[in-house]
Amino acid sequence: MKRVLVTGGSGFIGRPLCQLLSDKGYQVRVSGRHPKAAAFTEKMDYRHIPDLGPDTDWEDALQDIDCVVHLAARVHVMRETDPDPAAAFDKVNVAGSQNLALQAAKAGVRRLVFLSTVKVNGEMTTTRPFTEDDPAFPLDAYAISKYKAEQALMTISNETGLDVVIIRPPLVYGPGVKGNFKSLIRIANSGLPLPLASVHNKRSLIYVGNLCHAIERTIGHEKAKNQIFLVSDRNDLSTPDLIRCIVSASARPERLFRFPQAVLSLFASLGGQKAKADRLLGSLQVNSDKIHRLLDWTPPYNVVQGMEQTVRANPETHG
């Protein structure tokens, strides 16, 4: 399967994925909302798709394509402004994905790789990491829409014969990362003492370069057909270990001190920041043994390499 359409190809994950696929000899077609001048090499064929929804016309973009990697989505919104977030997520992530899959099947596409999220499994782990066999437990509108999209795609696969591969990554970091992870880099490198040395959680992460390699492995591997995969760097970190990794990559001193975790949680709840505190203090681990066992996939980058690339590419967070 050498002719690949990557939706959302101009994004944080899409750009390095398209470059990797091109370097490996794939014929890459990119769809995105930005103008063609948004920058791809001459080896890639760009299609402008302004909106993703139930009425999007994919006919031109799907012509002569073997595999679709579907990255485009309405992602988690930190400051939601839509009066009906659930409907907004469903329109793009559920109906939009259904529409793409049906048109892909009609066009003769053999496989669709769908980037979902670990949030389909849940927001937190306690006694053990999530596995692909665990029941889904999505809690917010974004995660629910991704789970509904997974179910819809599997139904379409059963009805049309289109191969579907679902990948559920945890937090993805790398050059160009935004949101909470970028804020964490800035805070870690601020020089301020941080009361997190007593936190003993574990969180799975995945470097964007590792995620791109995992996606590439699923494109043509026969054993990936109609499978769900949890992926990670296979090196889970506590929050203080993550901060140590960040400051080490920035050549900054570590400034962590001990403070009772229960008190931190209480202060966060009283300040209306419980969700942020849960991400900082709680555990969320995935077991990625399945993709390692079934597809013989091992992350090519370790967390130190990934963090160095991430910090180096975000100079404003450590300058």
Name the residues annotated as catalytic: 142
Q: What is the CB neighbour count within 10 angstroms for residue 260?
A: 10
Q: How far apart are CA 261 and CA 269, in angstroms?
A: 12
Residues 6+ apart with CB under 8 A from 242: 184, 203, 205
Q: Report yes or no: 91 and 54 within 8 Å, Cβ to Cβ.
A: yes
Q: How far apart are CA 115 and CA 308, in angstroms?
A: 25
Comparing C-alpha atoms, which of 114, 98, 7 is closest to residue 54?
Answer: 98
What is the number of alpha carbons within 13 Å of residue 140 lying toward its C-beta? 13
Q: Report yes or no: 112 and 165 within 8 Å, Cβ to Cβ.
A: yes
Q: How far apart are CA 141 and CA 73, in angstroms?
A: 13
Q: Report yes or no: 121 and 136 within 8 Å, Cβ to Cβ.
A: yes
